[in-house]
Amino acid sequence: MIYSQLTSLLIVAADEFPTVKVVILSIVGLLFLSAFYIFIHFFRLWIQCKLTNAKISLMDLLYMTFKKAPPKMIVMSKIMAVKAGFPNDEENGITADMLVAHHLSGGNVPTVIRAMIAAQKAKIIDLSFREAMAIDRAGRDVLEAVQTSVYPKVINCPASGTAKSTLDAVAKDGIQLRVRARVTVRANIKQLIGGATEETIIARVGEGIVSAIGSAESHKDVLRSPDLISQTVLAKRLDSQTAFEIVSIDIADIDVGDNIGARLQADQAEADTRVARAKAEGRRAMAVAHEQEKQATIEESRAELVLAEADVPVAISDAFQNGKLTISEYYKLRNIQSDTDMRVAIAGGNNKSNQAVIDAD
């Protein structure tokens, strides 16, 4: 109505002003060409929207162009959502404006729609469109998360490519066990935002396996029933506050390593031996020092004896002068001294002979 009135006014003005007529016709021609170009450019997408009941008009497609949102991607995503059975109303459905807003905020619209379809087909995941958009905006691959929820993922523990290929633990009997495990997990959609990643699962499972083996009385018990490790680790709820739910923990391989207990005992015995040797050396040094002290005491006594013997002739001389010692008493004393020296010499000779006989034997 307004367009027809504007056209009639332009025609009247053109009749009164011939120069203006050319300008007006040019403007009308440009408008017509622009409308024709827009119609031709969006005709295929518009026909698809009409045939699939996607409820996207030509003006919506034009607005998407102005907002720098790819119309084809938005239309294809909306058609996928409609054909998958999602509501198409303004209140509860997935609208084109929501898709454009998610794209402009940095989201991946096709991935979100595919994740919604996969969650709906699986019938075991309750995932709304707003939750899917939030997960996608948080930087997580929402489609991979849904696929992991439907088809659980297997994680190697230790992780492939790490420096150590096994988890090493020691039982109470001192025997080392080397274990490789596989952890089956499914994505926990509710904990996907803010939940810990695979690295945390691997670290927690490794810690649980080492703790379970360390609690075993004997390594034979673990070799006899490896499922004891799985049951012990699963009972600890290691998937708490993570983006995954642990389905099972399977022991893929278990080998017997070194006898760590015996090695530690040998090292302790060697250390004790070194301590005992040090203590014995200390006692020997103290004995040597004590012997040296006794030798010094003996030498000191000998020196005092020599001094005392030097006083004997003086005492004898005084005794002669005072008349306390006679000549016969003096010779008798000398005879006793000679007899004593002879006995000592004989005793010393016998000791040397006996020592020579012992050495010869």
pLDDT tens per residue across span 326-352 = 777 777 777 887 888 788 888 765 554
pLDDT at residue 356, rounded to an integer: 47
pLDDT digits (tens, 9 = 90+) for 218-245: 888 888 888 888 888 888 888 788 888 8
CA distances from 129 to 140, 189, 243 (A): 15, 13, 19
Bigger pLDDT: 310 vs 279: 279
pLDDT at residue 252 greater than cutoff 60: yes
> Can you say how many angstroms the Cα of residue 245 is from the centroid of all Cα atoms in its chain?
19
Work out the pLDDT band at 358, boundaries 50, 70, 90: very low
Contacts of 211 (CB under 8 A, 6+ apart): 232
pLDDT at residue 50 greater than cutoff 50: yes
pLDDT at residue 30, rounded to an integer: 61
**Pair 107, 137: CB distance under 8 Å:** yes
pLDDT digits (tens, 9 = 90+) for 85-130: 887 776 777 888 888 888 888 888 888 888 888 888 877 677 778 8
pLDDT at residue 355 greater than cutoff 60: no
pTM over 0.85: no
CA distances from 24 to 5, 12, 27, 30 (A): 15, 11, 5, 10
How far apart CA 352 and CA 356 sit, in angstroms, is: 6
Q: Output DSSP code: residue 89.
A: S
pLDDT at residue 361, rounded to an integer: 47
Work out the pLDDT band at 9, boundaries 50, 70, 90: low
CA distances from 184 to 157, 160, 209 (A): 11, 15, 15
Neighbours of 221 (CB within 10 A): 15
pLDDT at residue 196, rounded to an integer: 80
Mean pLDDT (whole number) for 271-280: 89
Work out the pLDDT band at 23, boundaries 50, 70, 90: low
DSSP per position, 311-337? HHHHHHHHHHHHTSS-HHHHHHHHHHH
Mean pLDDT of all residues belonging to the chain: 78
pLDDT digits (tens, 9 = 90+) for 173-213: 888 888 888 888 888 877 777 778 888 888 888 888 888 88
How far apart CA 293 and CA 291 sit, in angstroms, is: 5
pLDDT at residue 41, rounded to an integer: 66
pLDDT at residue 360, rounded to an integer: 45
How many CA within 13 A on the CB side of residue 209? 29
pLDDT at residue 216, rounded to an integer: 84
Angle at 178 between CA 177 and CA 181, to 5 degrees: 120
Bigger pLDDT: 25 vs 78: 78
Task: Report the percentage of the chain scoring pLDDT > 90.
Answer: 0
How many CA within 13 A on the CB side of residue 294? 6
pLDDT at residue 13, rounded to an integer: 52
Task: Report the percentage of the chain scoring pLDDT > 70.
Answer: 84
pLDDT at residue 24 greater than cutoff 70: no
pLDDT at residue 160, rounded to an integer: 79
pLDDT at residue 270 greater than cutoff 70: yes
pLDDT at residue 11 greater than cutoff 70: no
**Pair 224, 251: CB distance under 8 Å:** no
DSSP per position, 155-210? EEESPTTSS-SSEEEE-TTSEEEEEEEEEEEEE-GGGTTT-B-HHHHHHHHHHHHH
